[in-house]
Amino acid sequence: MRRIGLTGNIGSGKSTVAQYLRQLGVRVLDADQYAREGAEVLKAQICQAFPEACREGQLDRTALARRVFADKEARRRLEALLHPYVRRRMQEESEKAEQEGCPLLVLEIPLLFETGREATLDGVLVVAAPRALRQQRAMARSGLSEAEFAARDQSQLPQEEKIRRATWVIWNDADLATLKARVAHWYREVQR
């Protein structure tokens, strides 16, 4: 089974690429999905570490995001709680896919290079887009301010470095039909 990492900076369109890959029949594991799952499972520990991000025992994800993207040490503490859970879930699902004879597995991991995960993969696909376009998308999608976008973007490895380290790059700088065609072309290429 080939294991390919999928990554890109905030607003690049990696989730849209993952969606198109699923439409093509590719199995895609989403680290963000496991992080959300982990936040529920580890809610008590997260609320203990970040009481300002909890209301009546419920996690306020917006408040937590504001806190961790404004403070590197807080982000490291949250990652120390969540990343082991995410890695374990992705490993479990990878093993399951392999047992089922899955020929290609894509692991969508926003912090792939930042966490050193590329060493365990057969290649990395980076989705890239101009910064202004990424900012526009992230602000429209998530209601982020310019400062919030900048803080999240700066918490990631610069896009240029991801491109340099990538096996493949898909540029998402046009319309959705163009992106879909680029994803289909990439998929045909990796199937050869």
How does DSSP assign 107-164, residue by residue?
A: EE-TTTTTTTGGGGSSEEEEEE--HHHHHHHHHHHH---HHHHHHHHHTS--HHHHHH
Residue 56 confidence class, pLDDT cut points 50, 70, 90 = confident
* Residue in 22, 24, 23, 27 with CA at minimum distance from that of residue 4: 27
- Output phi, psi for 25, to 5 deg: 95, 10
> For the domain 2-191, what is the CATH code?
3.40.50.300
CA dihedral 91, 68, 164, 137 (to 10 degrees): 100
Mean pLDDT, to the nearest integer, of 25-39?
97
Give percent above pLDDT 70 in the chain. Answer: 100
Range 146-172 average pLDDT: 95
pLDDT for position 104: 97
What percentage of the chain exceeds 90 in pLDDT? 93
pLDDT at 86 exceeding the cut of 90: yes
**Which of 26-35, 52-61, 79-88, 158-167 has the least mean pLDDT?**
52-61
- What local confidence, expressed as pLDDT, does residue 77 receive? 95
> pLDDT class for 57, splitting at 50, 70, 90?
confident
pTM flag (> 0.85): yes
Domain ranges of the chain: 2-191
> Taking all residues of the chain, what is their mean pLDDT, rounded to a whole number?
95
Residue 47's pLDDT band, with cuts at 50, 70 and 90, is very high
> Would you state the pLDDT for residue 101?
96
